Amino acid sequence: MTQIGVETSGINAPRAGARAWLALVVLMLPVLLVSVDNTVLSFALPEIAIALAPSGAEQLWIIDAYPLVLAGLLVTMGTLGDRFGRRRMLLIGSTGFAAVSVLAAFAPTAALLIAARALLGFFGAMLMPSTLSLLRSIFQNRDQRRMAIAVWASAFSAGSALGPIVGGFLLEHFAWGSVFLIAVPVLIPLLIAAPLLVPESRDPAPGKIDPISIALSMATMIPVVYAIKAVAVDGVTVYAVLWALLGITMGWLFVRRQLRAKTPMLDMALFRRGSFSGAILVNLLSVVALVGFLYFVPQHLQLILGLSPMMAGLALVPGMIAVIVAGLSVVPISRRVRPHILVPAALAFSVVGYLLVAFTTAGHGAVPLILAFVVLGIGIGAAETISNELILSSAPAAKAGAASAVSETAYELGAVLGTAVLGGIITAFYRSALVIPEGLPADVSAAARETLAGAYTAAQDLSDPLGSALWEAAASAFDSGVLVTSLIGAILVVAAGTIAAVTLRTTRSH
């Protein structure tokens, strides 16, 4: 009899057949959808603002409601999937996500759109841990599992690349609600094929449902994510600090409860394994680096270089292809090279990518940025494949849902931190470096100092030479912020590589 909690799959485990690979194709559908959804909404915001006339606070909540609920529920939904069935959670989440997407597309008011976005976060939290944990049960052979996870991760990258392109196309031809309706044709095939191709899996000996732990996990993540977003918008305020302290306190209570429970919702012993905790941190910092890059580079491409949203999206495609190719290519290499060597070596490419941005952005056009993203993507793609596989392999098969949820939580936190930290730094440097030309009205100066987009709009409304002088000053200030932010991004990647070199030292390559 197989003992629960003991790793039984590995290099010599049975190899999966054609049906398993068809199941992988099905599981890629929600991954593509969620990653597209992460980037496509920003393109629809101007039209949403015109159609629904949200207040400034409502516009922020339209963006934030989804990731706040999603991050708060990932661990809970991963654990519930272990108990009630991961395929079942996937099907429930897909059905709900498709139905609520239709409601969001036709929301008549900003308040209803915010509510729909929150519900999308609720059902979205069921999707991602389910897809990754199902791969753990479908592909027991570790070589095949590495390749399956590489394909799974490539779907994330492909979706991120498709988001700007899909968004640009839809908004040129259809109303803003079309960015939500794309969920329906993606998820209907999943609802048909998943019961036929994807086997059910669950923890054969689940513990009791612990409502207090569920509440504490949500009370940890939601305040922390909200505090990070508040800092990104308003800087460090008493309000943001209080939210962060609340989340940290709830997190301490959550960990304390898990350590005392006979059957914890999340086995804290996993974090004592270097292969697990190290891979989580690599995941987190890699996503921070990637999302931070994707925050400021599109602004440079569109506002400073004058590319359309569609062309700016296409300029990022080579880098996303590099992420995909690197993620797939690293699989055979990872069989022979230990992770503590391979991951830092891969991330060295990403360091070079950020240095290229730092020293070639100003006055050199789009080509250096495209090349920099390709080099950055090589490192991120390889590191993400290895770290996700290590996270799953380090956890017992019965707890794959909870482990996957931790991985997804790291991804969500990384995405929030990438925008908040690197985005906040570049905004702060832009504001401090901007020299407003003399003679500008106070309201115009305030708008120009707020964001690069504000300066662009103000410059367009001014006559020359004042408009040209304002825009030259704004572009110069933004590029000075890009230099500093890129160097900080390189330091974050170096930190990720150092963590991998130290924590993954005892982890085998197969």
So what's the pLDDT on residue 206? 67
So what's the pLDDT on residue 8? 45
Calculate mean pLDDT across residues 29-54: 77
Mean model confidence pLDDT for the chain: 82
Task: Provide the 10 A C-beta neighbour count for residue 238.
Answer: 7
Q: Supply φ then ψ for residue 3, to 5 degrees.
A: -80, 130
Pairs from 365-373 (Cβ < 8 Å, separation ≥ 24): 365/305, 366/301, 366/305, 366/307, 366/315, 369/297, 369/300, 369/301, 369/315, 370/315, 370/316, 370/318, 370/319, 373/293, 373/297, 373/316, 373/318, 373/319, 373/322
Calculate mean pLDDT across residues 354-378: 84
| Residue 345 binned pLDDT confidence (cut-offs 50, 70, 90) | very high
Torsion-angle region of residue 396: left (phi > 0), alpha (psi -120 to 50) or beta?
beta
So what's the pLDDT on residue 362? 65
For residue range 243-279, list pLDDT tens digits in order. 999 999 999 999 999 888 887 777 787 788 878 888 8
Calculate mean pLDDT across residues 10-32: 81
So what's the pLDDT on residue 4? 33
Contacts of 406 (CB under 8 A, 6+ apart): 75, 78, 266, 270, 280, 391
Contact 288, 232 (CB under 8 A): no
Calculate mean pLDDT across residues 10-30: 81
440-470: b or e for each residue (b if 16 or more CB lie within 10 Å)?
Answer: beeebbebbbebbeebbebbeebeeebbebb
Contact 194, 87 (CB under 8 A): yes
Cα 210 from Cα 202, distance rounded (Å): 17
So what's the pLDDT on residue 120? 92
With 0-12 / 13-18 / 19 or more C-beta atoms within 10 angstroms meaning exposed / middle / buried, residue 121 is buried
Cα 165 from Cα 196, distance rounded (Å): 32
Calculate mean pLDDT across residues 45-64: 76
DSSP state for residue 261 in the 8-state scheme: -
Calculate mean pLDDT across residues 436-464: 77
| Residue 2 binned pLDDT confidence (cut-offs 50, 70, 90) | very low
3-state secondary structure labels for all residues of 191-255: HHHHHHHCCCCCCCCCCCCCHHHHHHHHHHHHHHHHHHHHHHHHCCCHHHHHHHHHHHHHHHHHH
Task: Provide the 10 A C-beta neighbour count for residue 46.
Answer: 11
pLDDT greater than 80 at residue 55:
no
pLDDT greater than 50 at residue 1:
no
- Higher per-residue pLDDT: 487 or 140: 487
So what's the pLDDT on residue 508? 58
Cα 146 from Cα 330, distance rounded (Å): 9
Calculate mean pLDDT across residues 111-117: 93
- For residue 316, what are the CA distances in angstroms to 204, 321, 365, 424? 44, 9, 14, 22
So what's the pLDDT on residue 5? 36
Tokens 């991602």 locate to 128
pLDDT greater than 60 at residue 181:
yes
Calculate mean pLDDT across residues 24-49: 79
So what's the pLDDT on residue 96? 94
Cα 246 from Cα 213, distance rounded (Å): 16
Q: Residue 371 has which token pair?
A: 């090349």
Calculate mean pLDDT across residues 402-412: 74
Task: Provide the 10 A C-beta neighbour count for residue 339.
Answer: 28
Cα 61 from Cα 67, distance rounded (Å): 10
Sign of CA dihedral 457, 462, 468, 472: negative
For residue range 184-196, list pLDDT tens digits in order. 998 999 999 999 9
So what's the pLDDT on residue 218? 84
So what's the pLDDT on residue 87? 92
